[in-house]
């Protein structure tokens, strides 16, 4: 799943304003201009569209973790220069305080069923034999399930 698509989905799900988005980046000491944000949020077919670099997506997700969970004491982890879908899901899991069963339930709410073993394989190190690369479809289903859950919360 592209960084731009993930950012657009998170903005929609959590109703972030442009100022809130820039504040989330600022939590990780990253400055994002309105123009940069505008180019990232455009559709891929728009001539002004720009792909969001992994380092910015990592900074946003780290800021999202800080926003949701607070700043962690001790050493601040470095921002990743490369992101995989596995890392994106891991950061969302941390930010939203999810357990594996929550992820299974969110994905199942979209009609796709995965096992606890499959979910745990997404969080293993790439050098481990049981590691499985998270494909775009499962991450999209996770995001759809998250959207359903958050919109149901908002209606209450």
Domain closes at, from 21, 56, 83: 83
Counting DSSP H helices and E strands in the chain, the numbers are: 8, 0
Domains contained in the chain, number? 2
Q: What percent of the chain has pLDDT over 70?
A: 99
Share of the chain above pLDDT 90, in %: 89
* pLDDT band of 142, cuts 50, 70, 90: very high
Domain with 123, as residue range(s), is: 84-156
Mean pLDDT of 43-72: 94
Mean per-residue pLDDT, 90-97: 97
Mean pLDDT of the chain: 94
Of 66, 83, 100, the position where a domain reaches its end is 83
pLDDT at 75: 67
- What does the DSSP 8-state code read for residue 124? S
Measured between alpha carbons, how far is 56 from 24 in angstroms, rounded to an integer? 11
């Amino acid at each position: 799943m592209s960084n731009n698509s993930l950012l657009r989905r998170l903005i929609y799900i959590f109703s972030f304003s442009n100022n809130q988005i820039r504040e989330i980046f600022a939590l990780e000491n990253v400055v994002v201009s309105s123009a940069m944000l505008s180019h990232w949020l455009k559709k891929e077919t728009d001539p002004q569209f720009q792909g969001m670099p992994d380092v910015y997506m990592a900074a946003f997700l780290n800021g999202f973790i800080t926003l949701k969970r607070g700043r962690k004491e001790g050493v601040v982890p470095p921002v990743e220069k490369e992101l995989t879908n596995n890392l994106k899901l891991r950061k969302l899991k941390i930010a939203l305080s999810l357990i594996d069963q929550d992820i299974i339930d969110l994905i199942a709410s979209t009609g796709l069923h995965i096992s606890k073993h499959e979910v745990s394989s997404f969080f293993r190190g790439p050098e481990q034999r049981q590691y499985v690369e998270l494909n775009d479809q499962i991450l999209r289903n996770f995001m759809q399930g998250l959207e359903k859950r958050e919109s149901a919360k908002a209606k209450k």
